[in-house]
Amino acid sequence: MMESNNLNTRVLVTGGTGFLGVHTIVQLLQQGYKVKTTIRSLERKTDVLEMLKNGGITSFDNLEFIEADLTKDANWDEAVKDCKYVLHLASPFPSDEPKDEDELIIPAKEGTLRVLKAAQKAGVKRVVMTSSFAAIGYSINPENHIFSEQDWTDPNTNIGAYIKSKTLAEQAAWSFIKTEANPLELTVINPVGIFGPILGKDFSSSVQLIEQLMSGKMSATPKVFFGIVDVRDVADIHIKAMISKEAKNQRFLTSSDETTSLPETAKILRQQQNKYSKKVTKKVLPNWLVKILSNFKPELKSVASQVGIIKTISNEKAKKILGWKPRNKEIIITDTANSLIKFSVIK
């Protein structure tokens, strides 16, 4: 059961400059909500407004910007003031593995707790937090296993800093809700790789894969399989989870109905009729070669550990409880590609 939209309902979106943040603000404004959003520097306000215009927003009367950083206490009380809901989307996502994992873990974990404490103090009804499939799918043998919301990545195993940061941040959030005597509700969204149309020059690390294929920078594709989901569908599920009574204190694994792979993604891109489709490689790297190359190229280490592994992911809970309907991978990849052309970001 969904609560009815209230034109006076104020929602805070953290991370307003982010790929998911902008799409979520677009949908909230289109649905009549009043929106506050945090950005680390108000100098980025113009960029966000430009992306929102590209997303179809014409009036900014219901939008307010607050300068706030996940690593600092300043302005969080002001950010959550008068908000019924908080959509906590902001989190660091590096393109490269950091030298010190704490560079990611500390802001992810402490930032989450900073937002939850401010929300609790302000009397916010519910926080919907963006976690990741990273917090679900990296400690269980994927053979004959269907990944669901019941699964957890073990942060004490040999995993990358990003995966560990998302797991520890989500665990810290659930621990806060369970141990604090407060009426604050929490819902967590665990998306797989987020793709979909960009609205400007800011986009996710996932989308960079499409850009690398279309520009010809990726000269061959390893057989890496991954879950894929559209940014518009991830924004949509955050809003559905925000107002659904049944979503209280639940996790939702968010993925399209099928996984894809880099060779399959390349094939879909080659089928497009544009000037970049011919640049997309047809070469597929054998698994053994990726593993050998990873000894000389540290950036291939994480890829080498995942080649040939197919993870089966269930999105049934999100469909059943929230009535969520994800786009299919062909639409997601095609719309991502078209938007990269539209905004001239292919080098």
Could you give the residue numbers annotated as active site? 166
Distance CA 218, CA 37 (A): 36
Residue 280: closest CA among 201, 340, 331 = 340
SS3 of 284, please?
A: strand
Distance CA 329, CA 193 (A): 11
- Token pair of 59, please? 């009036």
User: CB of 196 within 8 A of CB of 332?
Assistant: yes
Indicate the burial class of 74 (C-beta count within 10 angstroms; 0-12, 13-18, 19 or more): exposed
User: CB of 260 within 8 A of CB of 226?
Assistant: yes
User: CB of 334 within 8 A of CB of 195?
Assistant: no
Distance CA 20, CA 23 (A): 5
Residue in the structure block whose two tokens are 């149309």: 197
